[in-house]
Every structure is written in C-alpha cells, then in structure tokens.
Amino acid sequence: MSASPSFELERPRSVEEALDLLAAHPDSRLLAGGQSLVPLMTMGLAAPAVVVSLDRCAGVTGIETESDRVTISAMVTTRRIELDPDIGIRIPLLAAAAARVGSPHVRNFATLVGNLCHADPGSDLIPAAVCLDADLEVRSNRGRRQMPVDELIDGPFTTSLRPGEMAMAVRIPVPDRSWRYRYRKLVKRAGDLALACAAVLIRVEDVTIVEARLAVGGPLRRAVRVRGLETELRDTPVIDAVDIVSGGGWIEELADGLLGDHTAPVDYLTVMLPRFLAATVHEAVMQADGTEP
C-alpha cells in the first residue's frame, strides 16, 4: 500500500531550486496538492524516480488580482478558489467549476494548476479554463513561455509541457459582467470525475445571442471548445439556441475524440451530449445577472 516502492523526495524552498531539480532529473514529477499523483503512485500507475514537492516552496501560493485578469499560482487550492469572494464575483464560472472538484477533503489540497497539468479527461477545471481563454505561465531554468490552456492538453494524462518545465500559474482574463455563465457536470456518484461536463459563457443582447463560448469535457480525449457551434449561435435568437444545440449536428466536430466505455458507450454519448450541452446553454441564458439559476 506504500505510495511507491522507492523514489527520491525533494522539497525545494524556491522556484529556482525546483526548476534546477526538474532539469537535473528527467524522470521527475512535480507534486502540488498530491490528490492525483499520490493515488496514481499508490496504484502503481506512476513511478517517477524523483518527486519534487512544492509544499514548502516560496512564491507559489498567490492569487494576483488585476483589473482585467486574475493570476492563480501553482499551489492555490481549488477550495480557496471556490471560497474566494473576489473570484466568486469576477469569475464565477471558475468558482462554480472549482466547487465541483471531488469532495471538500480533496479540494482542501487539490490545486487548479495541478488539475490542469494532470490532464484527466474528467477534469472540471480544464473545460472552465478553456472556456475562459485562460493562459498557462510556464517556466524552466532556460526561460519562460506562455501558452493557452487549450494548447496544454495533448490527450488523456498527457500535456505539451517539455521536460524541465513547470506550470507556474494560470492567467484568467476577467469576462465583463455582460457574460452569463453556467458550469454543469454529470456524474454517477457525487464526487466522481465528470462523465460529462460543460462550461458555457454567453452574451445576450435583447433576445439575441451575440457571442457564445462553449467547452465540453468528460468522455473526450481532451476537453474542447465547440467552435463551429459557437459561430452558429452568433446572432441567433435565444429562443432557437436550445434547438440548435440539442440538434447535435456539432457532435461531428468531436466524433474522433469521443471515449465510450461499457457504462457510457459512444451511441449513448452522441445522444446525451447534445441534450446535456443544450441544458447548460439554456441555464446560462436563463441566468440574468450572475446568480445561480
């Protein structure tokens, strides 16, 4: 039951020290909240030679608030995001998705950045981050770069991060108050990873949708924006939106990526997902001013 038969544990005190350790040990993994990596090691699904824990690393626990964006550092927990009053008001979609991660026990340690980099298809936060056009700040001991979270995930549990790189923080542009939002999650049991989830931001003027951002995750190789459908919804009367989304023509956009299994086969997913996303869009539209419908 021991988490891993043997690995070396490093607990750097600074980001520079952490980056040097990652550079020196190609077979190393960063440990943030540990809520995914520790169980993976327990199950023998991950066996890094070196684990670099950020538990006492300086400079990775901040939430930086600017007028047009919020920057959330590597060790900020999902529980903190869920309960942060400023995030709750300015980026309520993120707070709503964070509140659906696992259980309070998990959220007390699980981090936003760690969740993104773990790249679980059932993640709550990847669809939310992709919907919000969030960027990831990446560092190595050779330099820095920034990339959209949408370009981070290659597939299940794999990212485009290169050896020696560390995801430092997520930068999230604050949507202005005219955006309505909804995060919706389908699970078999409370606390499960998402069987399906959807993050929606939508702007309505009068009775017409002027802009929509739709992200779907769960039974997919990676959470995706449904960009064809976003275009189709533009300048559409609100009253037609649910029919368009539930019509499901857009599912072909995702068809390659659908991951069916014995409990939710592809035939079921192709029927369920259009209705699920339509319900999410409906709930977002019905929500007038940032309050839960």
Partner 1 sequence: MTSMDVSATSMDVSATISVNGRSHEIDCQPGATLLEVLRTSLGLTGTKFGCGIGYCGACTVLVDGAAAHSCCLLAATMQGREITTIEGVSGDGPDPSLGVISEAFLEAGAVQCGYCTPGFVVAIEALLAENPDPSEAEVRRYLTGNICRCSGFAAIVRAALRAGGRR
288 near partner 1, rule: CB under 8 A? no
Query: x/- contact string, 268-287, with partner 1 (CB under 8 A)?
Result: --------------------
Which among 12-20, 103-111, 124-132, 134-142 is the span making contact with partner 1, rule CB under 8 A?
103-111
Block residue for tokens 């389908």: 186
38 near partner 1, rule: CB under 8 A? yes
Which among 27-35, 114-122, 234-242, 268-276 is the span making contact with partner 1, rule CB under 8 A?
27-35
69 near partner 1, rule: CB under 8 A? no
Tokens representing residue 71 in the block: 């920057």
Which among 20-28, 49-57, 62-70, 172-180 is the span making contact with partner 1, rule CB under 8 A?
49-57
Cα torsion 98, 100, 101, 104 to 10°: value is 100
**Cβ–Cβ < 8 Å for 287, 182:** yes
Q: Select from 55, 64, 66, 235 the one that contacts partner 1 (CB under 8 A).
A: 55
61 near partner 1, rule: CB under 8 A? no
**Cβ–Cβ < 8 Å for 52, 28:** yes
Cα torsion 134, 242, 101, 113 to 10°: value is -10
CA 126 – CA 130 distance, rounded (Å)? 6
Least spacing, CB of residue 97 vs partner 1, in Å = 15
Within 104-123, the residues that bind partner 1 by CB under 8 A are 104-106, 108-109
Half-sphere exposure of 288 (CA within 13 A, CB side): 2
Half-sphere exposure of 151 (CA within 13 A, CB side): 10
- Footprint on this chain of partner 1 (rule: CB under 8 A): 1-9, 11, 31, 34-35, 38-39, 41-43, 51, 53, 55-56, 79, 102-106, 108-109, 190-191
